[in-house]
Amino acid sequence: MFENYQVLRIQLNGQDMYILWYSNTRDGIYVNETTGVIPIFGNMQMLMDFCSDNRINIISDEIIFCNLDLIRGWLEKPTEYGIKYDDFFHVWNIIHDVAWSIEDLDELEELYSNYYILYDKLFWGAMMESRETHQSRYYQDWNEEELESLQGIFEKGINYFRYHSEMVTGN
């Protein structure tokens, strides 16, 4: 088990939920070793109680936000103009971290045929977007194949997260 975790707040279906994310040699998501699923907490108190009971150290008060609803909205009409680079880059990384954490990258690998092109566009877009003023917005050209690949990764990734996670109920 990794020693240092951060809280990741995920918005999905209009609900906030919380999971544990770690950064080490590899980034990943906390997975219950017994069940092999990602525990999802409906509120911070449940997550903090879980961490206390399992001696899990939260290293930062900062909560990382990952908006899956934003991605789901984009999936309904995927255009290059609708890409919000910072948010998309966070979701991209979380999908990869989930797959890595449950040791099943093969499930998503088929979608990553142009991984480096998509990753670079999202990475540099997120970096540039954070430097832009509110009057201007960073923009990149995306071809149809790239948009379809990104759409496939996000669709499968969100379904993958749902399949490999489980809401934790009260004690």
3-state SS string over 73-128?
A: HHHHCCCHHHCCHHHHHHHHHHHHHHHHHCCCCHHHHCCCCCHHHHHHHHHHHHHH
Q: pLDDT tens across 120-164, in order?
A: 889 888 888 666 555 455 667 899 989 998 998 899 889 989 999
What is the domain range of residue 90?
4-167
Q: Is the pLDDT of residue 60 over 70?
A: yes
Closest CA to 152 of 99, 112, 102: 112
Q: Is the pLDDT of residue 112 over 70?
A: no
Pairing outcome for strands 15-23 and 57-67: unpaired
Higher pLDDT, 119 or 20: 20
Give the chain's length: 171
User: pLDDT-based confidence at 117, cuts 50/70/90?
Assistant: confident
Distances (CA, A) of 31 to 1, 78, 101, 158: 9, 31, 7, 17
Quote the pLDDT of residue 138: 60
Quote the pLDDT of residue 135: 46
> How far, in Å, CA of 122 to CA of 95, rounded?
14
Closest CA to 23 of 3, 50, 41: 3
One-letter amino acid for residue 132 of the chain: E
Percent of the chain scored above 70 by pLDDT? 85
Distances (CA, A) of 111 to 107, 132, 162, 167: 9, 31, 18, 27
User: pLDDT-based confidence at 111, cuts 50/70/90?
Assistant: low
Higher pLDDT, 2 or 104: 104
Q: pLDDT tens across 34-56, in order?
A: 999 999 999 999 999 999 999 99
Segment 107-127 shows an average pLDDT of: 76
Pairing outcome for strands 4-12 and 27-29: unpaired
Residue 93 main-chain phi, psi, to 5 deg: -65, -40
**pTM greater than 0.75 (yes/no):** yes
The per-residue pLDDT of the chain, averaged, comes to 85
Count: domains in the chain: 1
Q: Is the pLDDT of residue 3 over 90?
A: no
Closest CA to 91 of 105, 113, 103, 74: 74
